[in-house]
Amino acid sequence: MATIVRPYGDTLDDGKVQLSFSLPVAEGPKAREAARLIVESWGFRDCEVVHSAPMSEDFTFFVAYAKAQGGIDFELVVADDAREGESMSMDEVDAFIRERIGRKVVVVGACTGFDAHTVGIDAIMNMKGYNHHYGLERYAMIEAHNLGAQVTNERLVEYSAKVKADAILVSQVVTQKDVHIANMTQLVELLEARGERSRYVLVAGGPRLSNKLAIELGYDVGFGRGSYANEVATWVVNRIVDKAKAR
């Protein structure tokens, strides 16, 4: 049975949505009407522009409420998150590696390109971890190498080959003008050119990254905001075992 869901204000299916945006026009009655029409042109009904203010001579800020028309069948929605299902704890991951892999798993992590944000990759890699979740360095059965930030893809690839990494962890925080896409793509191309792509479990992470985008760009998985080391470790060790089976 289809279960159609719509936005909820104070009555089921009222479709109420709040919006705020700006237009490159001077504030005034004409601007407000333009704002209302533009919202309705997006498929909303009963738009009310509840606030408008000039931001400069020729830009105006608006707040509007309107009723969304569309709904979707919730049953048909497939979540796109690497963290679906239960993750193992640190100890469970270590036990899993001992039993199923029988040697230490080597992981290399870096924040690549010009990106200088280290806090995200550190949250996953460093001993201390993040929000009471220890990082991979703390795992008895993981050999973790954190190369830090502003690491070139070339260096990451060479280093990973040198330490015979099982998994490469890439962090991308700056996404303005899609720099992360170019940079992440370059890494995949580099690995492919060297015939090394299949050697590694390739993991991407960062606050504006989705699993879907990572997979599209040729990674095995992508982790978004609020990820923890044990979730990443769970995913990686399972994949290593699956890869071995497939061989």
Residues at the site binding another protein, with contacts judged by CB under 8 A: 20-22, 53, 55-57, 59, 61, 114-116, 118-119, 150, 174, 176-177, 179, 207-208, 225
The residues, any chain, with a CB within 8 Å of residue 211's CB and separated by 6 or more, are 80, 81, 82, 221, 222, 223, 224
Cα 219 from Cα 201, distance rounded (Å): 8
- Beta carbons within 10 angstroms of residue 1's beta carbon: 4
Nearer to ligand B12, 31 or 203 (CB): 203
When CB distances are held under 5 to 8 angstroms depending on the partner's kind, the choice from ligand B12, another protein, none that residue 203 binds is ligand B12
**Catalytic site includes residue 67:** no
Nearer to ligand B12, 66 or 82 (CB): 82
Helices assigned H by DSSP within 98-225:
119-125, 153-162, 179-193, 211-216
- Check residue 112 for interaction with ligand B12 (CB under 6 A): no
CB distance 211 to 81 below 8 Å:
yes
- Check residue 116 for interaction with ligand B12 (CB under 6 A): yes
- Beta carbons within 10 angstroms of residue 128's beta carbon: 12
- When binding is defined by CB under 6 A, the residue of 174, 190, 215, 241 that contacts ligand B12 is 174
- 3-class state of residue 8 by DSSP: coil
Cα 133 from Cα 136, distance rounded (Å): 10
Question: Shortest gap between Cβ of 230 and ligand B12 (angstroms)?
Answer: 11
Nearer to another protein, 100 or 128 (CB): 128
When CB distances are held under 5 to 8 angstroms depending on the partner's kind, the choice from ligand B12, another protein, none that residue 205 binds is ligand B12
Question: Shortest gap between Cβ of 29 and another protein (angstroms)?
Answer: 20
- DSSP state string for 29-94: HHHHHHHHHHHHHTTEEEEEEEEEEEEETTEEEEEEEEEE---EEGGG-----TT-SPPP-HHHHH
Question: Shortest gap between Cβ of 89 and ligand B12 (angstroms)?
Answer: 17
- Check residue 115 for interaction with ligand B12 (CB under 6 A): yes
- 3-class state of residue 211 by DSSP: helix
Cα 105 from Cα 189, distance rounded (Å): 24
Residues 197 to 226 in contact with ligand B12, rule: CB under 6 A: 203, 205-208, 223, 225-226
When CB distances are held under 5 to 8 angstroms depending on the partner's kind, the choice from another protein, ligand B12, none that residue 20 binds is another protein
- Check residue 124 for interaction with ligand B12 (CB under 6 A): yes
Catalytic residue among 16, 30, 104, 128: 128
Q: Which two tokens stand for residue 92?
A: 């469970």
Residues 18 to 37 in contact with ligand B12, rule: CB under 6 A: none
- 3-class state of residue 171 by DSSP: strand
Q: Which residues bind ligand B12 (CB under 6 A)?
A: 109, 114-121, 123-124, 130, 169-171, 173-176, 203, 205-208, 223, 225-227, 232
Give the residue numbers annotated as catalytic, written as ranges.
128
